[in-house]
Amino acid sequence: MAHIAVFLLPERGHFLPALGLIAELVRRGHRVSCPATTRFAPAVAECGATAVPVESTLPEALPGSLYEAAKLAFTEAESSLPQLESTFRADRPDLVLWDIAAWSGGMVAHRLGVPDVLLEVFLTSNAHWSLGAEVIPPRTFGPDAIRFFTGLHAFLGSSLPEFVAGTRRRIALFPREFQPHGHTFDERYAFTGPCLTERAFQGTWEPPPGRPVVLATTGTQVCADAARGMPWHLVTKGKVLSPAVNVETHDEVPQLAVLEHAAVFVTRGGMAGVVEALHHGVPMIVVPHMTDQRLNGRRVEELGLGVLLDTVTVQGVRSLVDQLTSDSAISARVQDMRRMMARAGGSAVAADVVEEELAR
């Protein structure tokens, strides 16, 4: 069988969504190698793939600006490419999968002359709808931006849009129905929905009896204050001062395990969390931190799958939890999207695309 290299930005919103695809490729008998930091190596091992050690330059949290995040991704690519190119020259893959922000993967494919497939965890782009046009306001480039784009062009050998456009296929890890103008995207784009695994490395979780569950991974303290005295159980990520008895705190939430039982999800709106919520039929309160998250939140609201907020307040959280748990129209739309995602095929369809490319 084939040797497949999978390059993912070592950040949870980019890394975790691809694990189901990795596990499915391994199940089909392929050998999968995935560069991973110490933090993500257990996840790769759980999928049955080989974790290739790599050091990361990324900070603990990414900035709110996609432009600033892109500069960090460039630094990461410059740092990781020398570490990884020699590894994969010595153990040449038959195909490279690379995440939209893991540019070292695209460079390895290009330098080794190996076919590649792009993994999309952001809303994608074509001639009818452009992520870049939506999130990057018109600007007069100053010296910093000129240095960045000039350096990136020199590193990639082309502009970033040209570099990305060179991939033969794209696998979008969300349903076509969530993509703006989704009907205009041709067969090069496979909208597979989420590729999920059990994630035993995150541990297990059981809900308390008799109470609806609300999961909050942002606005943690406000959500904890809102939960006090309410008839629901709150599961949070991060520190909480003086939590009520119905508030449960975690440094790392076993998110899939909690979403399986959740009634509402308060989230920043990264694509990974959005599709995980929809996979479990959970409406959302989206409070974005980054510009791409705001676009996702806008889409959630447009499709009637939840609400988009700039900030959370105690009364606002209480009111919206009540609304989202009692509104039958929102529930019906969330369940419709859940069925659409199931039809998209997830890991099995994504692996089919990879094998089609291997057979070319």
Tell me the pLDDT tens digit for each residue of 122-176.
Answer: 999 999 998 888 876 666 568 888 899 899 999 999 998 899 988 989 999 999 9
pLDDT of residue 140: 59
Question: Residue 349 and residue 68: Cα distance in Å, rounded?
Answer: 34
pLDDT of residue 137: 62
Provide mean pLDDT across the span 241-252: 95
Question: Comparing 291 with 136, which gets the higher pLDDT?
Answer: 291
pLDDT of residue 145: 83
Average confidence score pLDDT of the chain: 95
Provide mean pLDDT across the span 304-324: 97
Q: Are residues 99 and 17 in the same domain?
A: yes
203: how many CB neighbours lie within 10 A of its CB?
11
> Tens digit of pLDDT for each residue in 250-285?
999 999 999 999 999 999 999 999 999 999 999 999
Q: Are residues 126 and 170 in the same domain?
A: yes
Going by their DSSP bridges, the two strands 247-250 and 189-191 should be labelled as unpaired
pLDDT of residue 136: 67
pLDDT of residue 109: 97
pLDDT of residue 134: 82
List all residues 6 or more positions away from 3 whose beta carbon is below 8 Å from its beta carbon: 30, 31, 32, 33, 91, 92, 93, 94
Q: Are residues 129 and 273 in the same domain?
A: no
pLDDT of residue 138: 62
Domain CATH for 247: 3.40.50.2000
In sequence order, what are the beta bridge partners of 171?
119, 190
- 303, pLDDT greater than 70: yes
322: how many CB neighbours lie within 10 A of its CB?
14
Q: Are residues 38 and 167 in the same domain?
A: yes
- 245, pLDDT greater than 90: yes
| Residue 15 structural domain | 3-193+345-359
H/E run at residue 224: helix 220-227
Q: Are residues 94 and 13 in the same domain?
A: yes
Residue 1: what residue type?
M
Q: Are residues 37 and 167 in the same domain?
A: yes
Residue with tokens 């890991």: 347
pLDDT of residue 277: 98
Please state at what angle helix 19-27 crosses helix 346-359, rounded to 10 degrees: 60
- 345, pLDDT greater than 70: yes
78, 155 contact by CB (below 8 A)? yes
- Work out the percent of the chain whose per-residue pLDDT is above 70: 98
- 67, pLDDT greater than 90: no
pLDDT of residue 330: 97
3-state secondary structure of 80: helix
Q: Are residues 156 and 108 in the same domain?
A: yes
- 224, pLDDT greater than 70: yes
262, 111 contact by CB (below 8 A)? no
Closest CA to 247 of 257, 234, 259, 237: 234
Q: Are residues 316 and 337 in the same domain?
A: yes
Q: Are residues 50 and 174 in the same domain?
A: yes
Q: Are residues 39 and 72 in the same domain?
A: yes
Q: Are residues 179 and 326 in the same domain?
A: no
* The model's pTM: 0.95
> Tens digit of pLDDT for each residue in 35-62?
999 999 999 999 999 999 999 999 988 8
- Domains identified in the chain, total number: 2
